[in-house]
Amino acid sequence: MHFRLRLFLARAARKPTALSLPAISPNPRVILTGDYTTVANVVRNSRNWRWFQQQSLTYYSVVVRRGFCEYAVEQFSDDEYECDYENHPASSSVANIDGWKWKLSMLVRSDEDQEIVSKDKRDRRDFEQISSLAKRMGLYCEIYGKVVVASKVPLPNYRPDLDDKRPQREVVIPLSLQRRVEGLLQEHLDRTIVNSENGDTLDKMKTSNHLENVDTAEHADSFLDGSVMEKVLQRRSLRMRNMQRSWQESPEGRRMMDFRKSLPAFREKERLLQAIARNQVVVISGETGCGKTTQLPQYILESETESGRGAFCSIICTQPRRLSAMTVAERVSSERGEPLGESVGYKVRLEGMKGKNTHLLFCTSGILLRRLLSDRNLDGISHVFVDEIHERGMNEDFLLIVLKDLLPRRRDLRLILMSATLNADLFSSYFGGAPMIHIPVAFFYLYCKLYFLNATEP
């Protein structure tokens, strides 16, 4: 603004005829017309200087202002200002640097502001002076294309947010992928602890292998392979625990846990887990809708995962029909917040979806019988659920016979029989008086569930 005013005065001095001001003679009734110099001479030669100062100063100031304004409107434009700006870079740089001194001093004093971003082309021209000024004040200054940035912290060589040629895009990461990344990061942190605990043991084993004979060396190698496999399973268990905790702490996981807690089976959770841990065979009865099919296998898997034994746990849950096996597996995987085929999968005739990390498998009774033909001891399986045993199908009855013969050979195997009827005494007596647990369900609970299901149907 000061620069433009000085420019006005300079032009007025160069063109005296363009600015006309009224002048006053010693006689106050006579008003002459002349340029600014004439008015000044008249005022100096006038004996009535006090009268001129008191009576006409206001009038002349108004006339002078009006003359300048009329001259500016008629003779001055923005294009001419740009031309004069290009012709007088020195005076513009001085004013610009003075402005940056004030900006940088305010930035240093401010506790909230971290940087100054400017897109003025004068700042790009005076960047070297601005940069040296910022350096003297302990700040950092960089230029990114057409943008000048002064900051309190060191600036990178490239700022994508200030690049007009690079559009900004929002990246949305799926929740399952985010949980997997968090689990891998936590696994990397926990791996150092496991390595520190097992490092000394592995070194001693490698040293002893060179001192023993061939038979002892072969035995040590097999033991080393077992310890390595144990170490891999421990790492996988830590990863499963971290992923489970991250899901339970997420907003979607909290909403799903609130829904699961509303099921009648949740009130018997601790009682069921204690009974399964103490007994090899448990018979559970509960009416439809109590949550025994979807919740009990999850309770066991979550308990083993939380205790750091998730990778050692492998659960098979049989269903009488293939459609029920597929739908239950899909429901359980959605409750765990992961796609079908990871920790939860299914296997039916001519179709299946499971992976190497599947620890809960829903299948038909025929699939389990077919596996027993090749794997008579069910190696690697820790829990077997036989659901809907009250239907008494041919495959179910034959499966119970085979499993009863298997239990003495596998003392660590847990067998859970689930029925929707109360008369489960027959199955309990068949397995030598296995304990029975009933999940009570109020009538109004099932009535409300059926009512809402009918109301949501199209």
List the CATH number of the domain containing 145: 3.30.1370
**pLDDT of residue 257 exceeding 80:** yes
User: Which residue, of 132, 151, 170, is where some domain finishes?
Assistant: 151
Q: Do 244 and 306 contact (CB within 8 A), yes or no? A: yes
Predicted local confidence at residue 190, as pLDDT: 74
Average the pLDDT over each of 56-70, 187-201, 254-268 and give the range with the smallest value: 56-70
CA 317 to chain centre: 35
Predicted local confidence at residue 177, as pLDDT: 75
Predicted local confidence at residue 406, as pLDDT: 92
Q: Cα separation of 159 and 146, whole Å?
A: 12
Specify if 181 maps to a domain.
Answer: no
DSSP 263: S
Provide the domain count of the chain.
2
**How would you class 283 by CB atoms within 10 Å of its CB: exposed for 0-12, middle for 13-18, buried for 19 or more?**
buried
One DSSP character per residue, 46-108 reads: -S-HHHHHHHSHHHHHHHHHHHHHHHHHHH--HHHHHHHHHH-HHHHHHHHHHHHHHHHHHHH
Predicted local confidence at residue 64, as pLDDT: 42
Residues 273 and 136 in one domain: no
Residues 257 and 402 in one domain: yes
CA 198 to chain centre: 34
**pLDDT of residue 17 exceeding 90:** no
Specify if 427 maps to a domain.
Answer: yes
HSE value, Cβ hemisphere, 13 Å, CA-based, for 35: 9
Residues 238 and 114 in one domain: no
Q: Which residues of 19-56 are buried (b: 16+ CB within 10 A; e: fewer)?
A: bebebbeeeeeeeeeebeeebeebbeeeeeeeebeeeb
Q: CB count, 10 Å around CB of 318?
A: 24
Triad 352, 354, 359: Cα angle to 5°: 130
Specify if 242 maps to a domain.
Answer: yes
Q: What is the mean pLDDT of residues 325-345?
A: 91
pLDDT tens digits for range 373-387: 888 889 889 999 999
Specify if 195 maps to a domain.
Answer: no
Specify if 186 maps to a domain.
Answer: no
Predicted local confidence at residue 317, as pLDDT: 95
Q: What is the mean pLDDT of residues 212-230?
A: 50
Predicted local confidence at residue 395, as pLDDT: 86
Average the pLDDT over each of 127-136, 182-191, 411-420, 428-437 and give the range with the smallest value: 182-191
Look at 50 and 156; give whichever has higher pLDDT.
Answer: 156
246 pLDDT tier (thresholds 50, 70, 90): confident
Specify if 161 maps to a domain.
Answer: no
Specify if 218 maps to a domain.
Answer: no
Q: What is the mean pLDDT of residues 283-287?
A: 88
Predicted local confidence at residue 341, as pLDDT: 87
Residues 144 and 235 in one domain: no
Q: Do 202 and 227 contact (CB within 8 A), yes or no? A: yes
Predicted local confidence at residue 211, as pLDDT: 43
5 pLDDT tier (thresholds 50, 70, 90): low
Q: What is the mean pLDDT of residues 300-304?
A: 91
**pLDDT of residue 366 exceeding 70:** yes
Predicted local confidence at residue 8, as pLDDT: 61
Residues 255 and 382 in one domain: yes
Predicted local confidence at residue 391, as pLDDT: 81
Q: What is the mean pLDDT of residues 304-324?
A: 89
**pLDDT of residue 46 exceeding 80:** no
Q: Which residues of 417-428 are buried (b: 16+ CB within 10 A; e: fewer)?
A: bbbbeeebeebb
Domain of 107, in residue numbers: 94-151
**pLDDT of residue 402 exceeding 70:** yes
Q: What is the mean pLDDT of residues 230-237?
A: 80
* CATH assignment at residue 287: 3.40.50.300
Residues 133 and 232 in one domain: no
Q: Cα separation of 424 and 242, whole Å?
A: 39
Q: Is 283 helix (H, G, I), strand (E, B) or coil?
A: strand
Predicted local confidence at residue 364, as pLDDT: 92
Specify if 393 maps to a domain.
Answer: yes
pLDDT, mean over the chain? 75
Torsion of CA 361, 363, 366, 368, to 10 degrees: 10
Q: What is the mean pLDDT of residues 390-410?
A: 88
